[in-house]
Amino acid sequence: MTTASVDVDSARRAYEELVGRGLSLDITRGKPSPRQLDLSADLLTLPNGEYRAADGTDTRNYGGLKGLPELRRIFAGPLQVPAEQLLAAGNSSLELMHDTVAQALLSTLPGGQRRWADEPRVAMLAPVPGYDRHFNLAERFGIELIPVPMTETGPDLDEVERLAAGDAAVKGIWCVPKYSNPTGVTFSDETAARLAAMPTAAPDFRIFWDNAYAVHHLTEVETEVADILTLCAQAGNADRAFVFGSTSKITLAGAGVGFFGASEANIAWWLGLIALRTIGPDKVNHLRHARFLKDTDGLRGHMRKHAEIIAPKFDAVDRILTEELGESGLVSWTKPAGGYFISLTVPDGTAKEIVRLAKEAGIALTPAGATHPHGDDPADAIIRIAPTFPEQAEVEEAVRGLAVCVRLAAAQRG
């Protein structure tokens, strides 16, 4: 049953048996599980009446556009941004990316000659497979997305350099530098250095360095990425990087804190614009996060508790795929050392069919193609697995079911 020449009849029988079980499982989105959220239960009672920050600020009141200093200090190291240039904002980094693009369209960036809205064309490089919400956001603003293949060390830099140098419409690149969504790849130092130093035709080119998984290790090894802001500054491109991060998968996904870091000039540009949008962020939330996490070591200890809960789920996906499909020669998959996703590569032209079969069997998967701009994976071969949210037993059942669907789709294709 686990050979490439699996016959259609037995694959179909196995599939019918799967459908007959009436499952209802969901491995679509990278959400923390309730047990992970419980790790931050204390946030629901903090700051426990003590609303004054370290400098005496009454966090209940307006003001403090940059966010609470003690929280920014805790995240300065992990996000590799000096605290003075790191802003703590609302509950989401995606909204910061959204607003950054919107502001760049409407107000000339440091180093730029005109607003992006006044350019005849604006394009961004989209490493694929990548994060669907980055792509959706760019599409919503009419920004063209140019796919660039991901490699084991980050986006294909020869391709990135060629496109960035050759086309002034190319204004930026989406990057998830550590434990990338969905491949789990961490950018090599060389990748980061080349991104920081490469010539770009656009003077206001920006690296959207979305370090969403900066501290989200699954093993004892705490993988590091290069410090992009310093590399950019050393290369004479101090304003090139925008750094994003958040506590969404550290504390409470819906009630965390988003961070934005950049050069002094970029931060001044941003603060001037954002001051029109808000009088200040939710500093009470910042304060309770600072009290809860305490310091960078507190953050590290907290992340180890997450790993204890989710690493077994990642291990189960790997073990079951190996047991069910390892010998088949049909698929390959990533074994990430951190982050939230596993990327499964299935035979060309079968990903959509597998997702459809799984859905009919009560197993919800991220739509095939979501990892590519416009939801279009030309090879129709990538499926993203997000094992964190369901219970351990559900993950196992979903992946066994997924294997049945892979075998049927492959057999039907012949």
Give the binding site for ligand PMP (CB under 6 A). 30, 92-94, 131, 176, 181, 210, 212, 246, 248, 258
Q: In terms of CB distance, is 30 or 129 closer to ligand PMP?
A: 30
Contact criterion met (CB below 8 Å) for 316 and 395:
yes
Strands (E), 152-263: 154-155, 170-175, 206-210, 241-246, 258-261
The tokens describing 391, both together, are: 């219970």
Nearest CB to ligand PMP, comparing residues 209 and 333: 209
Q: Which contacts of 318-324 are long-range, i.e. CB under 8 A and separated by 24 or more positions? A: 318/342, 320/396, 320/399, 320/400, 320/403, 321/399, 321/403, 324/2, 324/399, 324/400, 324/403
Closest approach, Cβ 220 to ligand PMP, in A, equals 23
Work out how close the CB of 172 gets to ligand PMP at its nearest, in angstroms, rounded to a whole number.
15
Compute the distance between CA of residue 231 and CA of residue 186 in angstroms, rounded to an integer: 17
Q: Residue 361 CB, nearest distance to ligand PMP (Å)?
A: 25
The smaller minimum CB distance to ligand PMP, of residues 112 and 261, is found at: 261
d(CA 414, CA 411): 5
Q: Which is nearer to ligand PMP, 34 or 236 (CB)?
A: 34
The minimum distance between CB 333 and ligand PMP, in angstroms, equals 18
Nearer residue to ligand PMP within complex by CB, 85 or 251? 251
Q: Which is nearer to ligand PMP, 87 or 94 (CB)?
A: 94
Query: Shortest gap between Cβ of 183 and ligand PMP (angstroms)?
Result: 11
Helices (H), 177-263: 189-197, 228-234
The alpha carbon of residue 132 and the mean position of all alpha carbons in its chain are separated, in whole angstroms, by 9
Question: What distance in Å separates the CA atoms of residue 166 and residue 159, rounded to the nearest whole number?
Answer: 11
Distance of closest approach, residue 180 Cβ to ligand PMP, in angstroms = 7
SS3 at position 262: coil
| In the complex, least distance from residue 385 CB atom to ligand PMP, rounded to whole angstroms | 14
Q: Among residues 176 and 267, whose Cβ is nearest to ligand PMP? A: 176
Nearer to ligand PMP, 108 or 136 (CB): 136
CB of 291 to ligand PMP, least distance (A): 21
Our CB check for ligand PMP shows the closer of 15 and 131 to be 131
The answer for residues whose C-beta is within 8 angstroms of residue 5's C-beta and 6 or more apart is none
What's the CA gap between 239 and 103, in Å, rounded? 15
Judge whether 360 and 352 are in contact, CB under 8 Å.
Answer: no
Find the shortest distance in angstroms from Cβ 115 to ligand PMP.
Answer: 25
Neighbouring C-beta atoms of residue 370, cutoff 10 Å: 23
Between 15 and 187, whose beta carbon lies closer to ligand PMP? 187
Reduced to 3 states (helix: H, G, I; strand: E, B; else coil), residue 372 is coil
Q: In the Cβ-directed half-sphere of 6, how many Cα atoms lie within 13 Å?
A: 28
CA neighbours closer than 13 Å in the CB half-sphere of residue 57: 20
CB 87, min distance to ligand PMP, A: 14
